[in-house]
Chain A
């Protein structure tokens, strides 16, 4: 898979205006990932309940709402994420609550995607430059630490060997009747991400895509955080 990912003008502008904060807001991080060709949920940034509700009806499935705030880096700890919203009433309540949080003037509304939660990360290592991490995702990632690390950029073969080295490898290929995930899709996402990490070598400290949600038909980045070199 020969690949050449370069930063777009939009990416560069986002990095510049985020630099003083030290990290990139989630909608901006997703714009960068989208430009690199990574799968993302359908989403909308708004503070308007009617617009949000219209989006929810459009996607025709439950949504997640997340505070967009330069003051909130770790969203779960600030209760800045609300999942599985399936009614106008809950959407209204949750949006109102999120908009009261510190620094929050808009909300990111996204379709809820389901599947196996994986972690895909990158670190700009002092000795080796950009390295990519793949593992089981969710908030327990640091506790289980079932991860594999490789030097970027990666090939599809690298990603397959990373997946194979996880203790949870069987969950990816299908375990006890569960259907496996779209390995080709996962490979594509991680390979692209590794090339993005190379393109951002001078700009980023670390990137967490957590979780990346994988099903039989593809992989979607549900949450993303980019820490910048300041």
Chain B
């Protein structure tokens, strides 16, 4: 089953536009795609006619051109008929945004739709979902374009059971400068489910890290998902909702009461090197760092800063997150010291975390980062940049990025996310070095890289 036409369509029909209500979800979807995306968009309503001087087709079968995608926004009871027409027409896939299925108790109707699609080998997303957002390609969210904040095109593939979480997470991604390759809200999951999406993203060259918001799996589905994760070479991040244990009191054996549903979920994710984020903030940090560094580390962090306090805060946070801040190899401090500028040579503290002091300049930061990268006790370099310091130039981001690329030890930076430091942040990000907006965020980025237990 080829999902590319569904997620990256060249043509689409929006079925169920209203001839009387301008802000009907289907109308919003038609308008935004028709006006703003490079996709040939058709609108469908059995009444036909015109809306805003554009033709309304009476059915998908009346559209002559081939269709990659149908967005179905009709009332639940009409969905099977529309789906049958789409299958007959040879549409390549559908997004069913309509609600009124399992979530409203109408399991039978949902099963009927799922069965029809399965028999025809017809992929669909939903029902009861927002559908698909592929930057610069298509957007089936029924939220007016002027109301939502969208991330740029990037390399995070994001799948969410909840449409609300998807939209909210996209705002957070945008805020941190993280781009997405594709965001999909899978709603009731009657068609495509998490494992299908994992397989799609694994094969998708635009995606480097795959993130999920998961509420729960069906019977045995967790195992299927894990088997797919084992085959997947890209980093996988999950955020789990529904963590509170239930049914513990009824447990009749030790095992059942020790291992509640969430505990099992969480431990199995760890066993299989899936990075589980505790919250949305972690999810954002994890996605940014894993999209830059797909390989795992042990988590031995070397920290360099020009403020002793930041170094100590970062070291504490590293230890609290299960990372180590080891003593440096003999020789590292000497190698750094002899290359430091004369002003700081005697006052810089060159143990881990390194404090170069506020009198340091770009070249000192670069020297420290280079020799930390070369120290074998370190497998991740954390650079805490306080651009208030006069010796730090606007080029520091780009210059440190070159060190990271040369030395091949993952580097993570902290730069305050203020507009005036944008040039430094971009100096890192455009060279694929992750930048956090806080010390804690930088530590979480390092934690993401340690997603595998040492075996």
Contact = CB atoms under 8 A, between A and B. Distances in A.
B253 A148 contact: no
Contacts of B218: 127
A225 B253 contact: yes
A208 B255 contact: yes
A92 B223 CA distance: 51
Contact of B455 (A147, A151, A161, A225): A161
B242 to A, nearest CB: 11
Interface stretch (A13-21, A60-68, A129-137): A129-137
Interface residues of A, number: 34
A148 B258 contact: no
Contacts of A131: 259, 264, 268
Contacts of B221: 127
* Interface residues of B, dominant DSSP: helix
B220 to A, nearest CB: 6
Contacts of A122: 255
A133 B70 CA distance: 47
A133 B258 contact: yes
B226 interface: yes
A149 B266 CA distance: 9
Interface string B205-228: 000000000001111111100100
B271 A151 contact: yes
Contact of A128 (B252, B268, B454): B268
Contact of B258 (A145, A165, A207): A145
B257 interface: yes
B263 interface: yes
A147 B257 CA distance: 12
A121 interface: yes
Interface in A135-179: 135, 141-142, 145, 147-151, 157-158, 160-161, 164-165
Nearest to B221: A127
A160 B263 CA distance: 19
B267 interface: yes
A3 interface: no
Interface string A94-122: 00000000000000000000000001011
Nearest to B271: A150
Contacts of B264: 123, 125, 127-128, 131, 149
Contacts of B200: none
B258 A135 contact: yes
Contacts of B440: none
Contacts of A210: 254
A147 B259 contact: yes
Contact of A127 (B220, B255, B272, B453): B220
A206 interface: yes
Interface in B265-322: 265, 267-268, 271-272
A126 interface: yes
B116 interface: no
A187 interface: no
B258 A121 contact: yes
11 contacts: A123-B255, A127-B216, A127-B220, A127-B261, A133-B255, A135-B258, A164-B453, A205-B253, A207-B255, A208-B254, A227-B253
Given A126-B219, A129-B222, A149-B268, 8 more contacts: A73-B252, A121-B254, A127-B217, A133-B259, A142-B258, A149-B263, A160-B455, A161-B453
Interface of B: 216-223, 226, 252-259, 261, 263-265, 267-268, 271-272, 453-455
